[in-house]
Structures are given as C-alpha cells and as structure tokens.
Chain A
Amino acid sequence: MELNGAEIVVRCLAEQGVEHVFGYPGGAVLYIYDAIYNQDKFKHILVRHEQAAIHAADAYSRSSNKVGVALVTSGPGVTNSVTGVATAYMDSIPMIIITGQVPTGAIGQDAFQESDTVGITRPCVKHNFLVRDIRDLAETMRRAFYIATSGRPGPVLVDIPKDITVATCKFTAKRGEVKMRSYAPIIKGHQGQIKKAVQHLLAAERPVIYTGGGVVLSNASPELRELVDMVGAPCTNTLMGLGSFPASDPRFIGMPGMHGTYEANMAMQNCDVLLAIGARFDDRVIGNPRHFSQVARKIIHIDIDPSSISKRVQVDVPIVGNVKDILQDMTVLYREAAAETAPNKAALERWWEQVNAWRARDCLAYEASDTVIKPQFVVQKLWEVTEGKAFVTSDVGQHQMWAAQYYGFDEPRRWLNSGGLGTMGVGLPYAMGVQMANPGADVAVITGEGSIQMNIQELSTCTQFRLTPKIVCLNNRYLGMVRQWQQIEYGSRYSESYVDALPDFVRLAESYGHVGVQISDPADVEPALREAFGKYKDRLVFLDFITDPTENVWPMVKAGRGLTEMLLGSEDL
C-alpha cells in the first residue's frame, strides 16, 4: 500500500496502540496534521505551549503503562520542547517526541524555523533520529518505540523533514519485534550475584531496602512488597519511588534524603546491609557521598543501567537487569536459602526497636495553627478528602516536598513530579496527561504561586478538553524553597524570592471558565477541598490557599552535608 510520510506516521502510531497525542501544529508538520484530520485512531490534544505537550505526554507515561506521544513543529516548536524532554530524560520516562523539520534540501541553509533538532536534543534524549529517506520512516518509528520502552526507558525523538511527510512509499504493517545489533538491554540478572545478595540479606542484622523510580518504571511494586515481607526490613522510597511500597505499611519509614525523614536517613546510614533497587544514590538522597561511605556496610545495587552502578558510591554486589525480573528471582532464591539458614530474628527485632526509636522523634510534626493555614495541613487534608487515592502532581519547591512528605502514597504511579531535573511548571501539564491516561480519576496539582505561573496558559487547554484537575496552590507569596535557602544559608537576604504582583487567581481561573476559590482561614481548608472533589468534581477548581509564608521544610540536610547531619527544625539553626 502506497502512503505518504504523514500517513505512515499516523499508521505507525496506531499500530503501537497510541490513543492520545499531545501537540501543537506549525509549518513543518502540516502534512502530519492533515493526516491526523483524516484519522480516528487517536485523539489529538492541542496544548497552549509546546513545553506543556511534552510534560503532558511524559505524565501520560508516568501515570499509566502506556507511552506518551508529543508532536511539535520545527525550530521554536523544538526549542520550546527541550525543557520537557530533559525533564523526562532525567527521570527515565519512556516517551516519543515527533518533531517537524524543514525540507531535506533546506537543512543547513538557516531556513525559516530551522533548528538542529538532533543536535540540540542529543544530550537530553535516550536516542534521536533524523529521517532522511521516506523508506526508513516506518522502521525508524518502530525503533523509536522499542528504544523508548526497553532497557532503562527514556524519551526518543524522531525528527521528520517536511518533504519526507509528503513523499510516498510502500507501507507494510509491523511484523515481529524490532531487533538492533547495537542495542540489546540486559533483562535477567546474574544468578550468582542474586544468590550472593540473598546471603547478605540473610546474614543482615540491620537491613534496609531503599528503592527508587526503577521499581515504578518496571512495575515491580508487587515483587517489592513480597520481598519486604520476606526480609522484614524497613523500606524507604525515594522521591521518585513513592508509592512502590505502601506509605501506610508500618515497615515504611518515609522518604530518605535532603528532606527525608529522620528515621529513613538514620537507617540508611546505620544499616549493615543496604539493598538499593532502581535507585541511583542521587545527591539529594544520600547527601555527601564521602560521609555516606564512611561507615562499613554491604551495598547491593539492582539497576538496569550498568552506568548507574558504582557511579557515586562503590557497591559490593551489583546486579544488572530489569528490576521486576531480578526481584522475582530473588524472592524464589531467598525462600530457598531461608529454609537452610534462618535470618537473625533477634537482631532484626533489635534493629526495629532502634528504627522505631528514631521514628518516635516524629520529625514531620509541625506547629498547628487556627489563624494561619499551614501548608502541611492542606496536604494532610487533601489526603483525607481523597482517601489517599488521588493522582497527585506537583511542581518544584517547598510544596513538592510537603506533598511527598504528607500525602501517603499507597500505590505506584500516583505521584508525579520532576525529581531529577526539578522543573517548575510541570504540575498542571502533568495533570492533563494523567487525566487523559486515567479518565475519571481524581487528580490534584499541588503547586505554589511561583510554579503554577510557569505553565498557567494550560488552563485554556483544560477548558477546551474539559480536564478537571483540582489545583491546590499553596500560596505563600514567596519562591518558598529559595526563600528557605536564603534564610538558612544566605543570612536571610531574600534576593528576588518575593513573588510580587500576583494575579487574582480566582478571577483568572474564572476567566478561563473554571471555578476559583481563595481560602485563608484554616477552618475553611477541608470544606473547600470537599467541595472541589464533590460538588465541583466535573470542573477544574483553582484553590488558592493563602499559607504561612514563614514555614520551612523540615528535616533538612544542607547541600554537601552528611545524610545524618539533619536540621530537624528552626531550633537547629
């Protein structure tokens, strides 16, 4: 069957089961948009800025097991997308970005809306392609999906010159799996290494299981829960891994790291066997790597990417492969080995006493107030009102940390944030992607008055597509995390961290056809949330909570300090 390039793109998306494409049209992709006009396989969601298209597609992947797809035009369409692509790349999110390019003959001529897309995006994609021949188009699309979703996932970009989208060639439907001689990710873990790991776990007196985004990405939450049951160790999830293990389980000791719980950080540092699963010993998680490594403990590290292993911390037992496969093998081998060598129950009990003593510090306690709204209180109430079951997206800053600390996630893929790149402005577009992938689900955007303005234009997209996230804006009139650092590290010199000249968010939301509410009395917090998720379930509600501007995120490990050198509150300053 003879098709033009644009039709081939549409066919290739359809054969991958794509149901939604987030995008923004422009000159170089007009043939593709023409082909979209003539098809009914997928729905196109028109955003208001290309960055939001990428974020929405990224969230579509994060919140489901499907692959998000974004489509943008050449030049500025691409450069506007770069932040989104880099965000997805840092968090290893599988997604496809299709970009228009000027016609092949115009490449390199500084043509109108030309950019070196492959060059610009190279450092922030798992892989990218420039299609130079219509006969390569279908195969390239298939490779893109294969690469994005296999191994350590990541965004893959396909740059298609305009002439390729109108040229024609024979199209044959996909047959069999893609095979590439230069790319074959390792799936199964080395059995000998897994056995060695099991021996360490059985011999452990003070084990800790520390897991990251890799568990979410490989859908290994059931396997993780089984393993924690067997080992009986405390479990901590990083910012990217929250929900992999239920926050409501007594063995969950909270998030580790810069704003992690006292018990998680103390346990990470004082354990004798640390099992790291799909986590990368990030600087925000382990603090100063030298301080972290100064204690003797065995580290087992499961990761699909060999380059993540022994990158920041030397590990004793590396296991490369897909987390889910490895955990399946590990539980089988653990059960076998435990039948012969029983784990040290008495030591484990002593360890739990210690961990519970740390937990008794109640490091997330904060001073309640009935005059000013505490941001932590809003997040707790949101959890209550949504029964802990909502999809929650956040932006970046203090509100992000409070969301991670106080909204206890019991399921994976419910918590979406930019953990690696730390991109302000993802919250609202993330909510759009979540809602397209999970129709009917409750979606909340926990944000601040700074972050929300970085993609506020998407309120219009929400109007057009009847998207109904509840925006929980913790409005403290400051770039809160910047203000916090300035208070602690820069002698309270609040340089440019005051967010002046704020819009009236209520009227702004209303002008887009949404519901806007401002809440400044703590007594109104819960009723407002109940109304948003009840009466206004089918509307987008902008909840502008006027919160305490002086509140800080605790605990805190200052940059460069050791993980256990925590500040637990302003009294430690």
Chain B
Amino acid sequence: MAAPKHIISVLLENEPGALSRVVGLFSARGYNIETLTVAPTEDETLSRMTIVTKGSDAVIEQITKHLNRLVDVVKVVDLTEGSHVERELMLIKVRAVGRERDEMKRLSDIFRGRIIDVTDKIYTIELTGVQEKIEAFIEALDRTSILETVRTGVSGISRGERVLKL
C-alpha cells in the first residue's frame, strides 16, 4: 500500500534562507517532497508554506517535529488531520488545431478550465482544483497535444473557523 498523502502547512519567518532550511531538512533526512509552495502572507514578515509529502504515520510525525525544531518556523499543522480545502493551479499549453480545437474547448469547459491565451494553433488553459482533478484533466488529454504544463503545487487551508496564524 502506498503511503498516504499529507498536506503540511508551515508558518515561518519571511527571512532569507528560511526556505532552504526546510528543503535542506527534507533532503538531509530523506523525506520526500511531492510539491512545495511558499509566499508571504498578509503580514509580510511571515511566509506560508504548503508541503505535500507521503510517508507512514511515524515519518510524518518526525517531519512535523523536525519542522517545529527549525528556529525560523513559527507553526506547523498537518492539514490532512482535519477537514480542509486544497487547491492547485495549473497552466497548460495545448495544441488546438482543426477538429481538436473544439474538442479542447469542450474538455476545458467540462473541467471548468479557463482559456487565458489563444493563437490559431494553441490554447493556454488555466485549471484550478484538487490534485486529482488536475491529474484527471491531463489524463483526459491526448499526450501529444500537450505542449507545456506548469503547476503551482498544492495550497491548503483548514475548513471552518480553525486558522493557522500567530
């Protein structure tokens, strides 16, 4: 059985080098990172990071403990422990010529994608959703029609009134 996916949210000081401390921890201790996304919060002295990782409960426990141990880290939460919302954004450039062009538009509509750039040969589609939806969209496409993909990695937030802040 594959190890379950965890979404770990980290609030950390917006200091130079803070990101590399987190990344260094994962590589030094052999933990895997599926996706990682980071940006400042409304308080510009703080950054919010979302890490998607896989591992047994014991490994995830060690990951959160080690993250907490970093001096720049203010708070750590494993979002998958509770009810939460996750989103990833993908920009995908696809070939859209001839009969494919209509088909591509339809498929994008089905997945609630938005076409944000057009030429006579391509569409660039913006798609937001959970990882599985994005992967399903890629699956639905003919591989040869994909020219380029770029994904942000997962961002997550807990549902309801629970907040992760100072």
Contacts and interface: CB of A to CB of B under 8 A. Distances in A.
B16 interface: yes
Given A181-B74, A182-B12, A306-B68, A123 B24 contact: yes
Contacts of A123: 24, 28
B62 A182 contact: no
Contacts of B20: 119, 122
Nearest to B69: A307
Contacts of A132: 16
A123 B24 CA distance: 7
What DSSP secondary structure best describes chain B's contact surface? helix
B71 A126 contact: yes
B61 A130 contact: no
A127 interface: yes
Contacts of B73: 182
A310 interface: yes
Contacts of A122: 17, 20-21, 24
B58 A310 contact: yes
A118 B65 contact: no
Contacts of A307: 62, 65-66, 68-69
A119 B16 CA distance: 11
B166 interface: yes
A153 to B, nearest CB: 13
A305 B71 contact: no
A183 B71 CA distance: 6
Contacts of B66: 307
Contacts of A130: 16-17
Interface string B6-27: 0000001100110011001000
A182 B65 contact: no
What DSSP secondary structure best describes chain A's contact surface? mixed
A118 B62 contact: no
Contacts of A310: 58, 61
Nearest to A124: B28
Interface string B69-83: 101111000000000
Contact of B71 (A119, A182, A306): A182
Contacts of B17: 118, 122, 130
A147 B13 CA distance: 16
A570 to B, nearest CB: 38
B68 A181 contact: no
A311 interface: yes
A181 B71 contact: no
Contacts of A305: 69
Contacts of B166: 181
A127 B71 contact: yes
Contact of A182 (B13, B24, B58): B13
B28 A311 contact: no
Contacts of A119: 20
Contacts of A181: 74, 166
Contacts of A183: 71
Contacts of B69: 305-307
Contacts of B28: 123
B25 to A, nearest CB: 8
A147 B24 CA distance: 20
Nearest to B27: A123
A147 B21 CA distance: 16
Contacts of B21: 122
B164 to A, nearest CB: 14
Given A122-B21, A310-B58, A147 B16 contact: no
A469 B58 CA distance: 47
B49 to A, nearest CB: 13
Contacts of B65: 306-307, 309
Contacts of A118: 17
Nearest to A127: B71
A303 to B, nearest CB: 11
Interface string A153-188: 000000000000000000000000000111100000
Interface of A: 118-119, 122-123, 126-127, 130, 132, 147, 180-183, 305-307, 309-311
29 contacts: A118-B17, A119-B20, A122-B17, A122-B20, A122-B21, A122-B24, A123-B24, A123-B28, A127-B71, A130-B16, A130-B17, A132-B16, A181-B166, A182-B12, A182-B13, A182-B71, A182-B72, A182-B74, A183-B71, A305-B69, A306-B65, A306-B68, A307-B62, A307-B65, A307-B66, A307-B68, A307-B69, A310-B58, A310-B61
| 6 residue pairs, one from A and one from B, having the closest CB atoms | A307-B65, A127-B71, A182-B74, A306-B65, A183-B71, A307-B66
Interface of B: 12-13, 16-17, 20-21, 24, 28, 58, 61-62, 65-66, 68-69, 71-74, 166
Given A127-B71, A306-B69, 15 more contacts: A122-B21, A123-B28, A130-B17, A147-B71, A180-B71, A181-B74, A182-B13, A182-B71, A182-B72, A182-B73, A307-B62, A307-B65, A307-B66, A307-B69, A309-B65
